[in-house]
Each structure stands twice: as structure tokens, then as C-alpha cells.
Structure 1
């Protein structure tokens, strides 16, 4: 499906898989922006035709557990694992008139998000999807706005 079709609805244009290009957090206090997962993060976000979405984002360089067993990590390994990965999934909703998008978190690695519905700032330009938080969130001890750039994934 071409993402340049202007007659397609926002919902139709979202459907599919997108690869993460960049993830930047801008503190509302005006201090320097930062990259929570480095300047080359990895991630996929998918929107299905039946109304579900799933997002997985991480730092590109993650250290494997020494034990090789995900239930036998050290406290430091678990801390590094959880602080270098974001994952959530659930229904998504589009308001075509307002051109708005929300993500409802049915499951989330960050337990505080479970059950939340979060509005997103959304824009699609060609093969790029731009998502942002609609209101500031807490990250690394600061109040920030998040900006994520995604590129439509192609079948390999």
C-alpha cells in the first residue's frame, strides 16, 4: 500500500510495521535533549487491521546475561535489561476528524502504563511516521516530551 495516497484514512495509512529511526526526549525545562536508547535505537511498532498495536524499542547495544538464562540474571543485569527496553501492546484508536491517535496499554513492560490510554501526536509523511507524546512524561528524572521517527518496514 502506498503511503503517499491522500485519500487513505489515517487509520489505513498506519496499518503495517514501522522500524524505529530515532527516539529523542526534549526536557520541558529547556535543557539539552537526550537519546534514551542512544543515537541508533532499535524498534518496531505495528498496527494491525483489527485495531491492535505493539511497540518494542531498545538500545542497540544490550549485554547478554552471563548465565544465558533469563530467570537467572543478576540484579545489575535485570536493571540494565529493564532500563534499555520499552514494550507495550493493546488496542489503538484513531479519530479521523481530529487526526488523532491513542494507544491503550493492555500489556506493558512498565507496569505503571498497564491499563492506560495515552494520546499521541501523529503525522505521516511518505514512508515516515512521526509519533510524540501529547503531554509531557517523566523520564530519567525530568519532565519531557518524546519524539519518535519511524520508517515503514519493507518485507525482506
Structure 2
């Protein structure tokens, strides 16, 4: 494992989460100005991420349960570093379609700030699955 790889190790607190649409380049804050979340890279080669919108209500109706699903993203798996990206072999996810897949993320590390970009992909949380990407900023915990 290189020094570059080990710089990601530890717990990162989510600072911001934007989405960008590929067609229009429009950026939004789908989960508000201050979403909750953490990204953890273990020295054992496992990563975990959990992100939620700031304002969420308990789910006691079908409508509220759907709203909860649309305001959460979580997955875990074994990861590897390849240049300016990390690739996770997902073994457990909030989105069943991701289980068994490899999720590729690009990153920029600047001291205690980590910015993570998804590849352009259909957004599983947007009706019609518009092509977009997420841009997440984390601070070292």
C-alpha cells in the first residue's frame, strides 16, 4: 500500500453534497445545505459510506418510507486505489442493484479536505434516472 493510499485511511465527515446534471451542468443541493454523513476508509481495505438529508421524518406511512429511501445513500465493500480514483466492490448497499457491482469514485485530497466525484451515471434517486454525478466534500474527522 502506498503513502497515497494510506492518506485516505480514517473517518471523513460530510461537509457538502451537490449533484450536477450532465446536460445542463445545473448544480443542486438535493439533500439541503447541511446533509449528514460519513465516509470511512479502513486500513483493512474496507470502506463504508452513509449519507442522509439533514431533515428527515420517521417513516410510518408508505409515502414517508419512500421519502426516507430517497434521502439516504449507503454502501460498503472492499476498495482499491488506482491513481486519482478508488473502486469499491460493493457487498452491501441501500440500493440492491449496486450489490456485487464495482462503484468507481474519483477524488482530490488536499490536506484534511477530500472531494469525491462520481462518474456520470443514471441517478437512482431522481425520477427518470437523469444522467448526473455527485460531488461530495468531506473533512477529516
Flag whether TM exceeds 0.5 (same fold). Answer: yes
**Aligned ranges for residues 127-138 of structure 1 at < 5 Å?**
127-133=112-118, 135-138=119-122
Whole-Å separation in 1 of the counterparts to 2:105 and 2:139:
17
In the alignment, what sits opposite 1:150? Answer: 138
Please give the secondary structure, in 1, of the residue aligned with 2:30: coil
Q: Are 1:37 and 2:31 matched, yes or no?
A: yes
Q: Would you say the 8 A contact 1:10–1:99 is kept in 2? A: no
From the CA coordinates, give the structure whose radius of gyration is larger: 1
| Cα pair distance change 1:145/1:63, threshold 3 Å | same
Q: TM-score under structure 2 normalisation? A: 0.90
Taking the TM superposition and a 5 Å limit, the aligned residue runs for 1:85-100 are 85-95=72-82, 98-100=83-85
Report what 1:119 is aligned to.
104
| TM-aligned CA deviation for residue 105 of structure 1 | 1.1
More strand per residue: 2
TM-score (norm 1): 0.82
Q: CA deviation at 1:151?
A: 0.3
Question: What displacement does 1:49 show?
Answer: 0.7
Q: Runs in 1 of length 4+ with deviation above 2 angstroms?
A: none
Please report how far the alpha carbon of residue 32 of structure 1 lies from its aligned counterpart in structure 2 after TM superposition: 2.0
